Chains A and B, each alone.
Chain A
Amino acid sequence: EAQVTQNPRYLITVTGKKLTVTCSQNMNHEYMSWYRQDPGLGLRQIYYSMNVEVTDKGDVPEGYKVSRKEKRNFPLILESPSPNQTSLYFCASSELGGTSTDTQYFGPGTRLTVL
């Protein structure tokens, strides 16, 4: 089954404790992206990746890191989480970025609480 998976689905942590949220897709998609969803703000892009070893900042990259060492995986890293990073996070992938109109497929979300 074609899907985007995220782990963990729920996470409660404390300020300053490094964490990683994993994202994996089995569709051989080139493009992957991370969003955060906050009430009244919709989804905002954190980082995206056009392909392996190619990443770039989205609209709200501060406090986050990403890596793309393999095509299927795109982990989101919070080196020193703060309470304002409490949010619902979505990973997404699509076949191509850039000029295509391909559909973006979303993972089920990770609800993060930073105390």
Chain B
Amino acid sequence: AQSVTQLGSHVSVSEGALVLLRCNYSSSVPPYLFWYVQYPNQGLQLLLKYTSAATLVKGINGFEAEFKKSETSFHLTKPSAHMRDAAEYFCAVRVSGSARQLTFGSGTQLTVLP
């Protein structure tokens, strides 16, 4: 069975600073990996996804993530945080051939300080 661990339930950064949100996965077969963002009082929106085409994946709003098989990681980064990036971020994994779709991590709340 697959699982996802997000290190750090709360992360605070200053505006303009690097954003790094950590995600480690566990899967016995090559996974598909996703990052979703949830703004206050809204549903989840896809930021980016890894589908084995390229290890460095670029998403919306300037975010990107790198798949590192040796580290079983898929950390999310953004070079310069903006106030509008304040939200909750979820990493999710899905195993090819699984009909049960996504297994989510517990989420990381990102706060951006002025």
**Do A and B share a complex?**
yes
Question: What residues of A have a CB within 8 angstroms of the CB of B113 in the complex?
Answer: none
Q: Are A56 and B101 in contact (CB under 8 A)?
A: no
Within 8 A of A (CB), among B80-114: 90, 94, 96-107
How far is it, in angstroms, between the C-alpha of A58 and the C-alpha of B104 when the chains are bound?
13
Selected contact of A58 from candidates B36, B90, B100, B107, CB within 8 Å: B100
Interface size on A, residues (CB 8 A): 27
B49 touches A107 (CB 8 A): no
- Identify which of residues 59-93 in chain B touch chain A, using a CB-to-CB cut-off of 8 Å: 90
Q: Which residues of A contact B107 (CB under 8 A)?
A: 40, 42
Chain A interface, DSSP helix/strand/loop, else mixed: strand
**Binary interface profile of A, 6-28, with partner B (CB < 8 Å = 1, else 0)?**
00000000000000000000000
Name the one of B46, B51, B101 contacting A31, with C-beta atoms under 8 angstroms: B101
Q: A101 with B90: in contact, given A40-B9, A40-B106, A45-B102 (CB under 8 Å)?
A: no
Residue tally, chain B, CB below 8 Å to A: 26
Instruction: Assess the B51–A101 pair: CB atoms within 8 A.
Output: yes
* Chain A neighbourhood of B96, CB < 8 A: 99
B44 within 8 A of A: yes
The verdict on B27 contacting chain A, using a C-beta distance below 8 Å, is no
Query: Any chain B CB within 8 A of the CB of A68?
Result: no
Contact of B90 among A42, A107, A108 (CB under 8 A): A42
Given contacts A45-B103, A104-B102, 13 further A-B contacts (CB under 8 A): A33-B101, A42-B105, A43-B90, A44-B104, A56-B99, A58-B100, A90-B44, A98-B97, A101-B32, A101-B51, A101-B94, A104-B46, A109-B42
In the A-B complex, list the 4 residue pairs whose CB atoms are closest, starting with the nearest: A106-B43, A42-B104, A101-B51, A43-B104
